[in-house]
Amino acid sequence: MLRSSYLYFQGASNRLLNPIRASPWRPIIPRRYGHELAPQYKHLKKKQKGRVSVRTGCSEKGTTLKFGSYGMRLKSEGTRITAAQLRAADNVLMKFVKKENGMYWKRLCTNIAVCIKGNATRMGKGKGAFDHWAARVPTGKVVFEISGMHEQSAKDALRRSCEKLPGVWEFITRSATPRLGLRLVGEPATKTNYYEKLRRNPTKKFANMMKSKEYLYQRYNGRSS
């Protein structure tokens, strides 16, 4: 009897000292992720490596500004960007945006789970363990948008941030034309005569080919000395 009463009072004191146990409502403790760029998937789905999509149609989706006044767009060929690279660029850009009380939008989500295996692992035996998050960025994709800043300050901030990312980037404004692949919309196609270009500055292979078409070489072709 004494032992049971002692345990009862000990449990009551613990409930009184602990506000979480004393309250009938339990707080919801969210799951912690590595960073804000990691998607909150309930089940991690391993994906294949895949390729960066090449836009062959006439879709202008994601190539122009939608929220801000200035932005940064991928000018070179499509590439893959990891979450660590995007977070490094985001940290640099936020320093400039906070300093001038601007607004900032990030239009890219790293939603592809990259899995790796050891270098000396034999073929087969599964996909491998999860390593990091990444995203496929096609040519012409707008990644960052900002507003509420001077144009020169915005250009400098976006340039400094995109130095952390792979590829060649271009600064765009509201008046920028959409980009379909490596060419802007409405940009005239330039005709290049590659034959004349090679004749002016021939390579070793092209020079040998032109030399073989001379009369002396064709006459004694295949004859031994």
pLDDT at 30: 46
User: Which token pair is 203?
Assistant: 């390579």
pLDDT at 186: 67
132: which strand partners?
114
pLDDT at 94: 92
Report yes or no: 62 and 140 within 8 Å, Cβ to Cβ. yes
Residue in the structure block whose two tokens are 């960052």: 144
DSSP reduced 3-state for 105: strand
pLDDT at 5: 47
Domain assignment of residue 116, given as a range: 70-186
pLDDT at 138: 92
pLDDT in tens, the chain (225 residues): 444 444 444 444 444 555 545 455 544 444 444 556 777 777 788 888 888 888 777 778 888 899 999 999 999 989 999 999 999 999 999 999 998 889 989 998 888 889 888 888 888 888 888 888 999 999 989 999 999 999 999 999 999 999 999 999 999 999 888 888 777 776 666 788 888 999 899 999 999 988 888 888 888 777 655
In a domain, 174, yes or no: yes
**CA 207 – CA 224 distance, rounded (Å):** 23
In a domain, 34, yes or no: no
In a domain, 207, yes or no: no
In a domain, 217, yes or no: no
pLDDT at 151: 92
| Alpha-carbon dihedral sign for residues 142, 143, 147, 150 | negative
User: Which token pair is 88?
Assistant: 């490094």
In a domain, 137, yes or no: yes
**CA 29 – CA 26 distance, rounded (Å):** 9
CATH classification at residue 128 = 3.90.1170.10
Number of structural domains the chain divides into = 1
Helices 151-162, 83-99: inter-axial angle, 10-degree rounding: 160
